[in-house]
Structure 1
Amino acid sequence: MAAGGRQAAEAERRVGLSRRRRQPDDAALRPFTHMKRIEQVVLAADLAGTAVFAVEGANAAIGAGLDLFGVMVLSLVVALGGGVIRDLLIGARPPSAVSDWRYPALAFASGLFAFVFHERVAAFSPSLLTTLDAAGLALFAVAGAVKALEFRVHPFIATLMGAVTGCGGGVVRDVLLARIPVVLVTDIYASAALLGAVVVVSCRRLGCSPIVAAVLGGVACFALRMAAVRFGWQLPKIAAGA
């Protein structure tokens, strides 16, 4: 009887061990959950910024007198250009704009919307368009910095990638339209993207969650850009011919 009891106890112990092996280890899953959260932050900010900048690119193309094809090209360039440059520089290949169909589809749809409903979009107040542009800049700056950190680049480089993501598409747009890039001559713009990226990188280095870092960085970028527009802040420059 004693031997039978020991055998039964041993069998129960083995069954318990087997069940524990099949159950997921929370500690082991935690890094995967963390990475998933980072990916969600990047995706949400990237897609939102894509829609905003695609409309802006379409407006610039319409203002330059381009046809439908030109409008769609400018929409895609402005919406996806900064992200493509960022991904190539940090080694994210293929770029998200190529590997994820949602990026070009959203940019195309947003550009087409701006073309078809141009009169309604043109009726938007300048302040609203400026606000949307600042929001798009903040979203892209945040997404660029967060994704660069995800690929374990140096924090300084991650900061630059935030600015590249926010301003890269606009620079390519201006080159295609044969004009000096707006980020080089306008009131504080790229600097706002840099500030947002600095806040994101600093918060992540201090142990903040990706969502908290993204929110704080986005608010900082948006606030500086809107304040620069409101009060006419500009970086120092030397007048031509001086």
Structure 2
Amino acid sequence: MEGLDATFIWLDYAAVFVFGASGALAAARRKHDIVTFTFFAAVTGVGGGTLRDLLIDAPVFWVVRPQYLLAALAAAVAVWAFGAGKARLAILGWLDALGLAAYAIVGAAKALAFGVPAGAAVVMGVLTATFGGVLRDVLAEEPSVLLKREIYVSAALVGAAVFVAAQALGAPELPASLGGFLAAFTVRAGAILFGWSLPGFPGRTPTDDEG
């Protein structure tokens, strides 16, 4: 991918496939047809990266390399072919966690490659990792991940920050990316397994007073 070191290409394709699979599984919950499966997979797989590229004024990655769309298509076909039983639907959260961790690193890495300052590169990692999931939930008419108390965005933030900080300290790209990936995935896994969440706003709202 233009502007992104070849070290991250495998991670990028894997993230598109995994996020694409999560989009297809969301379509499966609604028993949609194969065309909608493909649409859900494509939007979920490339949505975050598209927003990132538009914001950092980079060529949109899947336009330059249509193979990314093929990765999303393969995810949709795989879900369609192997079905979406109860067990497979249960792995939706884990697929999403893997995609989030991978995309947090890829997004931050590409932003750095295009000369974006460190703080903004972390934000680009977060947007890359979360926007596709937001689009998926909107399309599937599911509660948005952003409206849940369970940690989600924070996991991407931790992963992207670890990666960018490691790069700033001179760490090689592979250890930095692995460290960021594991940090993001660990936080998200803790949220899934143990219900980790951040504290909510403690004050009373006008609605509370009225009730």
Aligned to 2:193: 230
Q: How much has 1:140 moved relative to structure 2?
A: 0.6
Q: Which one of 20, 42, 56 corresponds to residue 22 of structure 2?
A: 56
Aligned to 1:174: 137
SS of the residue 2:5 aligns to: helix
Alignment of 1:63-102 (within 5 A): 63-93=29-59, 95-102=60-67
Q: How much has 1:129 moved relative to structure 2?
A: 4.1
Is the 2:21–2:95 Cα contact (8 Å) retained in structure 1?
A: no
Return the alpha-carbon distance in structure 1 between the equivalents of residues 124 and 3 of structure 2.
Answer: 20
Is the 1:141–1:166 Cα contact (8 Å) retained in structure 2?
A: yes
Distance 1:161 1:37, change over 3 A: closer
Is the 1:55–1:75 Cα contact (8 Å) retained in structure 2?
A: yes
Return the alpha-carbon distance in structure 2 between the equivalents of residues 75 and 90 of structure 1.
Answer: 24
Is the 2:125–2:160 Cα contact (8 Å) retained in structure 1?
A: yes
Alignment of 1:182-201 (within 5 A): 182-201=145-164
Return the alpha-carbon distance in structure 1 between the equivalents of residues 86 and 143 of structure 2.
Answer: 23
The farther-off stretch of 104-113 and 179-188 is: 179-188
Answer yes or no: is 1:42 the counterpart of 2:8: yes
Return the alpha-carbon distance in structure 1 between the equivalents of residues 141 and 87 of structure 2.
Answer: 26
SS of the residue 2:88 aligns to: coil
**Aligned amino acid, residue 224 of structure 1:** V
Aligned to 2:102: 139
Q: How much has 1:179 moved relative to structure 2?
A: 4.3
Distance 1:100 1:37, change over 3 A: closer
Aligned residues: 205
Unaligned runs of at least 5 residues, structure 2: none
Please state which structure has a larger fraction of its residues in helix: 1
Q: How much has 1:41 moved relative to structure 2?
A: 2.6
Return the alpha-carbon distance in structure 2 between the equivalents of residues 179 and 60 of structure 1.
Answer: 9
Distance 1:145 1:108, change over 3 A: same
Aligned to 2:87: 123
Superposition RMSD in Å: 2.3
Scaled by the length of structure 1, the TM-score of the pair is: 0.78
Alignment of 1:16-27 (within 5 A): none
SS of the residue 2:31 aligns to: coil
Distance 1:142 1:176, change over 3 A: same
**Aligned amino acid, residue 74 of structure 1:** F
Return the alpha-carbon distance in structure 1 between the equivalents of residues 178 and 189 of structure 2.
Answer: 16
Scaled by the length of structure 2, the TM-score of the pair is: 0.89
Return the alpha-carbon distance in structure 1 between the equivalents of residues 191 and 36 of structure 2.
Answer: 31
